[in-house]
Amino acid sequence: MHNEPQQPETVDDDHATSFERVSRRSFLTRVGAAGVAVGTGQLHTLARADSGSIGEDAASTSNTASESDSVHVQLNVNGTLHQLDIDPRTTLLDCLREHLHLTGTKKGCDHGQCGACTVHVDGRRVNSCLSLAATHEGEAVTTIEGIGRPGALHPMQAAFVEHDGFQCGYCTSGQIMSAVALLKEPYGHSDEDVKEAMSGNICRCGAYSNIVCAIQQVRRKA
Ligand code: FES
Ligand code: FES
């Protein structure tokens, strides 16, 4: 008998391809949404993503994604409450600079390596480029604008001016925010201890020795 050559099962293959493509898209949607939900506590975002399940056409999936793009966040920054609708992926750094226009906090590396973006969250120093804004509801965020101002400088700001603790000034906000937080941290009294405590703040101008002098002056008075 002549055996008919087996035809490729084109219909099933098409189904498989389509199913696989939709599955991959749904999978990515779910993974992305899960990351946001875990990071922000916005579990309703995950629930909404779950409702956009396999079988939806591309247009409706895309609409679901865009509708759930933003989350509502209430942020306490420098003692002022801000109501914001932001992309859940917005870093605290971008939120401060782009949404609240508090540009004293600087973006250097955007990778947690330079310390230029240092702010305080509930009094602890944080690299704001590594932290999602939506995770800070209910916490007190303090930026360089919140610790002093012209005519009423924080003692650490005044000491940086007095000791020339900067040259170009790009790293200075982060240096000062770290230095202020350091005042409440259990480091030793030596210059070496200060250098260790400030090792996360890079100064490309190399103003390190003056920075240490400024910090030590404030620590002694404190
Ligand atoms: Fe955040 Fe460099 S900009 S650590
Ligand atoms: Fe220029 Fe520090 S003062 S990078």
DSSP string, 127-141: EGGGSBGGGGTTSEE
Confidence (pTM) = 0.72
Range 148-222 classified under CATH 2.40.50.140: no
Domain ranges of the chain: 69-146, 148-222
What residue ranges line ligand 1, CB within 6 angstroms?
107-110, 112-117, 127, 129
The CA distance from 92 to 90, in Å, is 7
What confidence tier does 25 reach under pLDDT thresholds 50, 70, 90?
A: very low
The whole-angstrom separation of Cα 93 and Cα 100 is 10
Encoded amino acid at 19, one letter: F
**How many whole angstroms from 73 Cα to the centroid of ligand 1?**
23
Q: According to CATH, what is the number of the domain 69-146?
A: 3.10.20.30
Q: How far apart are the first and last CA of the chain?
A: 99
What order of strands is seen across the sheet that includes strand 118-121?
Answer: 80-86, 71-77, 140-142, 118-121, 124-127
Query: What pLDDT shows up at residue 8?
Result: 41
CB of 109 closer than 6 angstroms to any ligand 2 atom: no
Q: Which two tokens stand for residue 119?
A: 């702010």
Q: Which atom of ligand 1 is nearest to the CA of 115?
A: 4
> Is there an atom of ligand 2 within 6 Å of 164 CB?
no
**pLDDT of 83-137, one tens digit each?**
999 999 999 999 999 999 999 999 999 999 999 999 999 999 999 999 999 999 9
Asked whether the beta carbons of 73 and 131 are under 8 A apart, the reply is no
